Copies of this chain bind each other. A is one copy, B any other.
Amino acid sequence: MISVAQALQTVLNSTQGFGVEEVPFLKSVGKVLKEDIVADRDFPPFNRVSMDGIAINHRFFEHGIIDFNVEGIQAAGAEQKTMTIDSNCMEVMTGAVLPINTDTVIRYEDVQIKNGIASINLNILELGKNIHSKGKDRIQGDLLIEKNTIISAAEIGVIATVGKATVKVAKTPKVIIVSTGDELVEVNENPLAHQIRRSNAFTLVSLLKKLGIKAKTSHIADDKEVLQQKIANYLKKYDVLIFSGAVSKGKFDFLPAVLAELKVEKLFHRITQRPGKPFWYGVKNNKPVFAFPGNPISTFVNCLAYFYPWYYKSVGIKVKEEMAILGEDVSFKPSLTYFLQVKLENKFGHLVAFPITGNGSGDLASLIKTDAFIQLPNDRVEFKKGEVFPILKYR
């Protein structure tokens, strides 16, 4: 048995990258950026009019002139024009280039235009007003998005602006999720009295989908030879193997033995935690094998507590630990790290975790009412309302 911290460190010591691929930029949402995005030109690329109105030479206004002949219009998307007579004005549109020989924009709200003459209704006017000047936000060559950022809508806008029609992102690992257990039947089957339907494999598929990983699934009966043959094949074909079940002390829990025979090096088996204690973890040729216990909550929490961090580190994402405030006193006697299901509530900016106690690690339906697990350390028995602990969110 090892501690949660030791187990996590072991898992994090066996991460690896899966290479880089180039995808059309709109397909990159949710993926991990694997190149720096730099400004291809200044932002904005020209002195940009930021209000609809008129552009003038400020010095005339300074000298008390408020009426200006309208010489023409500078539209957004039109080539930059030149105002030929210094004391005239040009009508200018938001997004347009500021015309040559003008330096200040007055918005339509502060102007009256009649018979080709614009009169300004202002007493004070700042030089350069309503102009978003060239390079004000960023200059050409500036780093806009750092490598290893998760691409969201905000990044998509910038990537489009700098003209990256395709973008380099982290490849995701090839993962197979294998359920075991002779009691399991398929979702579309009617179980007999002693059977239940497969569910853990699909829960895991959904948890991995949230990371952008499209995992395959498989089911293997509790038969040592079949297990050995199939797993040998999966170890060749996939980057990561995830199991659910067959790692405990049962007569038909063949997995640890089979994995040993296949020369998967065991890095640990059993962690001082509840639920999820009998988690078996090993590697072969740098390929990790996550063999989770078969109880639904055990599988679920171990995926969040170990596979997620393993994946984040593998693809280069830094994830900040999230914390929540315990909403009720909790007492837990066993000398184990307790992953307690909680409902999270944002109470005036305070993230409060209310414990929801299910009926143990088999109570799948209890996950519906919770949002996260709060991680209570194993060196104490009493945990007080108001204390702060790390959480593993799954919504």
A residues apposed to B, CB below 8 Å: 25-26, 29, 39, 43-46, 48, 50, 52-53, 73, 75-80, 91, 93-97, 107-109, 132, 136-138, 144-145, 149-150, 152-158, 160-165, 181-184, 187-200, 202-207, 209-210, 222, 248-253, 294-296, 300, 320, 322-325, 345-352, 358-360, 362-368, 370, 388, 394-395
Contact = CB atoms under 8 A, between A and B. Distances in A.
A165 B192 CA distance: 17
A367 B154 contact: yes
Given A144-B365, A152-B394, A157-B364, A194 B26 contact: no
Given A137-B365, A160-B199, 20 more contacts: A25-B187, A26-B202, A44-B362, A75-B252, A76-B182, A76-B250, A77-B182, A77-B195, A109-B249, A132-B360, A137-B366, A153-B394, A157-B300, A158-B364, A158-B367, A158-B368, A320-B346, A323-B348, A323-B349, A346-B351
Nearest to A45: B196
- Interchain residue pairs A-B with the least CB separation, the first 7: A77-B182, A77-B183, A154-B367, A153-B206, A160-B199, A52-B250, A157-B203
Contacts of A394: 152-154
Nearest to A186: B165
A52 B251 contact: yes
A45 B364 CA distance: 13
A79 B203 contact: no
A366 to B, nearest CB: 7
Contacts of A346: 320, 322-323, 351
Copies in the complex: 2
A298 to B, nearest CB: 11
A359 B160 contact: no
A359 B136 contact: yes
Given A202-B25, A250-B94, A50 B350 contact: no
A202 B108 CA distance: 30
Contact of A182 (B78, B153, B162, B294): B78
A309 to B, nearest CB: 17
Contact of A349 (B53, B132, B144, B388): B388
A193 B46 contact: yes
B152 A395 contact: yes
A250 B52 CA distance: 5
Contact of A359 (B137, B157, B210): B137
B97 A202 contact: no
Given A145-B368, A194-B77, A194-B78, A199 B165 contact: no
